[in-house]
Every structure is written in C-alpha cells, then in structure tokens.
Amino acid sequence: MESVNVRRRQVLAAAMLGAAGVHAIEATSAFGQSSPDAGFGPLLRIQAGDLDVAYVEAGPALGVPVLLLHGWPYDIHTYVDVAPRLAAAGYRVIVPHLRGYGATRFLSDSAPRNGQQTALAADAIALMEALDLDRPIVAGCDWGARTACILAALWPERCRGLVSVSGYLIGSQELNRAPLPPQAELQWWYQYYFVTERGEAGYRKYTHEFARLVWQLASPKWQFSDTTFQRSAEALDNPDHVAIAIHNYRWRLGLAPGEARFNELEQRLGSFPAIATPTITLEGDANGAPHPDPATYARRFTGRYQHRLIAGGIGHNLPQEAPGEFAQAVIDVASF
C-alpha cells in the first residue's frame, strides 16, 4: 500500500499548493483510447477490497467528499456534467467504475464474478476506506442508487447524506419471489431473458445493441448522440461485465447463489431497514424503467427527507439528463 500512501501525500500537497490535484498523478485517459472529456480528468487506480478500482476524481482534495455511483448499463459518464459542478462548489468528487465496468478489474482470477447487491456495497465501503473518505455524501442512480441506499441503511455513521434516484431501492430475494401484475412483469423483460442460456449468449454477443435499447426504453425522451452512447458503451467491454450483469439479475430471482460472507448483510437488508441519513430522492417525469411510486417508500426515510420530481422529459439516467438538478440535490442534502 506504499503507492497509496505516496498518492495521498501528493494529493494533500497539491491541495495545499492550489494545484489541479489528483488528476495530474496518472496520465491514463478516463475513456481507454478515447480523448479526455472536459468534465473529467485522467483515470486513477487504487486497490480496494476485491478490486483494482478505476475512478476519476474532481475538486479540492480537502473538500467534503462525494461518492457518485453509476448503474447498468451505464458508466461513470452518468456524472460527466455533475462532477464539475460539484467540484466548482468545493466538493471532492469520486466517481468509480463499478465491478465489471471500464478499467476496474478483480485482483484475483478466482474471485466470484458476483453481482449481488451487498457485493457492490462492500466494494463501495472498501473504496471509501482506501481513499480515506470521511463520511461522504453517497449518491447514485439505478444500481448505484441501490448501493447508496444500502450504505446509508447499514453504515449510517459513515454517510453524511444520501441522494437516490427512484428512492428506496433495497431489495431481497424473498420479496422477489412474489409475482407482479402482468404489466409490471413486462417491464422486467430483460431480467427473464438473462436467466436463460440464450439470454446470456445474446447479451454477450450484442452487448452494445442491448445497452442502447435499454437506454432508449428507460429514457424515451432523451435524445442522446451516438458519441454520448459510445463513450459509455466502451465501459461494457470489461471482460467481467457480462458475468456480473447476468449474476445480478439471476441472484435477484434466487436462481444464482450469492457469497456466504454476505449472508448476514442480506438478512439485515431483508427487513428493509429504515434510513435515518439525511436524504433527497429524485425522479424524472419520463422514467421508462421500472421504478416505485414515491409514496410507497417515503416512510423508509426517518431522518430529514425530501422528494423532488424533475420535469422536462427526464428519464431514468437522471444525473446525465438533468445534471444541474442532481448536483443541486447533493449540495442541498449537505446542509440538511
């Protein structure tokens, strides 16, 4: 871990000198071979838990930390226009590629390619420890929102605030055993596709095409460009991506095992614990993905809480479609 300690000293020194900070430490682009985006600096790496995590960082090293977590089938560019807004407001912003995305890699070839919800939460905790993030604001969308909710529910002492798109997303295998009305089941069509061998093979063969379709269905009014889509689709070429995505959806239905080391955490989540951490939940007015009605989860938040509906044809990938509103929620929850 000596390299991590050296990096921390560099970060602190850069902050004290008023320099650009951590972005100058490593010259690798955040997008593989693509050109750097104006919203992000270079890609950084750190070993944390089971992973060698690839992430970007923005803002002053001594600022209030914010951990931004993306979902499926998206990547760190969900926050490409959020991060600079928060950095300009003085926050230290960390945006990691989740397991199975971008340049993030497992440290061991034998590690289970596990996509269950507590594995992703454990990754986030390990990253917080590796980067010495002191009570960050945790914020997310899709899988990232679920992870952020789990962090706030199970480790409230480690979270300063929570911003969650589509609200309380903690799930359980037991809950998922219950059938939904046909129209609701239809929205989960890809989940049932993924439990078949044909579905796994299809997703592996047509990963980018599949992701584009999900983007279109989940955000029917978002007119994203080919360039916008492609820079995120590159992250899905990670060699572990398909295995992680398939396992996530099979595990939800109880059709794939999780890891025994997470059993106790899953049991705690199965009771749907209340979240006392100060929270703002967000929803777009044109979200085409499955999502709960805000009235069904408001009671889960027992601390200071506010829900905001973002109008204007905003879909599922709210932070990228409405970055100003998402960034403002992070700033506002910090003062709760």
> pLDDT (tens digit, 9 = 90+) per residue, 70-121?
999 999 999 999 999 999 999 999 999 999 999 999 999 999 999 999 999 9
> In angstroms, rounded to a whole number, what is the distance separating the alpha carbons of residues 109 and 91?
36
Say how far residue 121 (Cα) sits from the centre of its chain: 10
Burial of 127 (0-12, 13-18, 19+ CB in 10 A): buried
> In angstroms, rounded to a whole number, what is the distance separating the alpha carbons of residues 287 and 271?
27
Total domain count, the chain: 1
Full residue range of the structural domain in which residue 317 is found: 2-333
pLDDT at 12 over 70: no
**Residue 10: its pLDDT value, please?**
40
The DSSP code for 101 is S
pTM score of the predicted model: 0.90
**Residue 39: its pLDDT value, please?**
63
The encoded tokens of residue 236 equal 């899905």
CATH number at residue 267: 3.40.50.1820
pLDDT at 32 over 80: no
Residue count of the chain: 336
pLDDT at 152 over 80: yes
First-to-final CA distance of the chain: 36
Contacts of residue 292, Cβ cutoff 8 Å, sequence gap at least 6: 166, 167, 168, 169
- What b/e sequence results for 280-316 when a residue is b if at least 16 CB atoms lie within 10 Å of its CB, and e otherwise? bbbbbebbbbebeebeebeebbeeebebbebeeebbb
> pLDDT (tens digit, 9 = 90+) per residue, 194-218?
999 999 999 999 999 999 999 999 9
The answer to whether the CB of 87 falls within 8 A of the CB of 59 is: yes
- What b/e sequence results for 101-117 when a residue is b if at least 16 CB atoms lie within 10 Å of its CB, and e otherwise? bbbbbbeeeeebbbbbb
